[in-house]
Amino acid sequence: MLRSVAAIVLPNVAPFELGVACEVFGIDRADTGGPTFDFVVCGPRPGMVTTKGGLYSINVEHGLEATEDVDLVILPAYGELDGVPDSVLEAVRAAHARGAWVLSICSGAFALGAAGLLDGRRCTTHWMHSAHLQERFPAARVDPAVLYVDDDRVITSAGTAAGIDACLHLIRRELGAAAATAVARRMVVPPHRDGGQAQFVDTPLPCDADTLAPLLAWMVENLETDLTVPDLAARAFVSERTFARRFRAETGTTPAAWVTRQRVVRAQEMLERSDASIEEIARLCGFGTAAVLRHHFARTLGTSPQAYRRTFALSPVR
């Protein structure tokens, strides 16, 4: 269970990426139905630490002993990619060895690589650093295109906002969809972006009027309907070919894959919050039958709807 978190601050830490960790895990959201974590910021030694660009410094009050019994250790982006103290590497290795999660945001992945935790694993970082990460750690399997990767309690994410997505993914995995949604709602960010989505769009859309955002919101509200590409393209007033191209440009995936993932998320929420049968949930989420729901649930989450409900139901399962 995810309850305690430590963020390790290194010299020239990126303020935004550190802020992501603080915002997601460092705020008590009990008053709005969100989870509360024991959160601490620590470093190789207590004292003042510079931030990226040298604009200001922050006072770190705790040493690396703060990582010794937490459930999650976070490495935000930092300055000297190849100069991580041995004490930090040992702390990260020890945390993972005893069963804790480790999560990097942007260039924080280089610290995980130096600790040996990326060897043989899929991982990612900001696309600008991906070639260097692969060169520096040839045993890692770097994917420069995705938002985040979860591989055996090691989560790596791309830059800036992708760190939020990775943190929400971990909360959803450990505490359930309702907890992740509560955090996202308070932060006013999307509750779920799949890790496989693209980091960036090669050809930006020409104007705001061309975005599919209103259609995506409508699709989320109508997951129980038959969301076919011809019908969606017609609703967007474009050809099927243009719709498919634009959809991948904006979401980094296909309409079918996007809809399936949103339906799984909806099923997670219903399994947590309601006592509806699996058949009823399958119908309301758009899967049609319980067998189809079980198939996609197992493929996406590696568990069954029944097992998920037993773990994350907000009220006792009768």
Rounded distance, CA 6 to CA 70, Å?
Answer: 7
On average, the pLDDT of the chain sits at: 90
Q: At residue 97, what are phi and psi to the nearest 5 degrees?
A: -65, -30
Q: How far apart are CA 93 and CA 116, in angstroms?
A: 8
For 36-70, what is each residue's pLDDT tens digit? 999 999 999 999 999 998 889 999 999 999 999 99
Alpha-carbon distance 297 to 299, whole Å? Answer: 6
pLDDT digits (tens, 9 = 90+) for 253-277: 899 999 999 999 999 999 998 999 9
Distances (CA, A) of 284 to 216, 256, 281, 289, 301: 18, 17, 5, 10, 19
Distance CA 298, CA 168 (A): 20
- Reading the block at residue 269, the tokens are 């929420």
Q: What's the pTM value of the predicted model, to 2 decimals?
A: 0.77
Domains and CATH numbers, the chain: 4-187 (3.40.50.880), 202-318 (1.10.10.60)
Residue 75 CB contacts under 8 Å (≥ 6 apart), including other chains: 7, 8, 10, 92, 102, 103, 104, 105, 108, 109, 111, 112
Say if residues 182 and 34 touch (Cβ distance below 8 Å).
yes
Does the CA dihedral 27-166-174-293 come out positive or negative? positive
Q: pLDDT tens digits for 76-122? A: 999 878 789 999 999 999 999 999 999 999 999 999 999 999 999 99
3-48, pLDDT tens digit by residue? 999 999 999 999 999 999 999 999 999 888 889 999 999 999 999 9
Cα(213)–Cα(91) distance, integer angstroms: 42
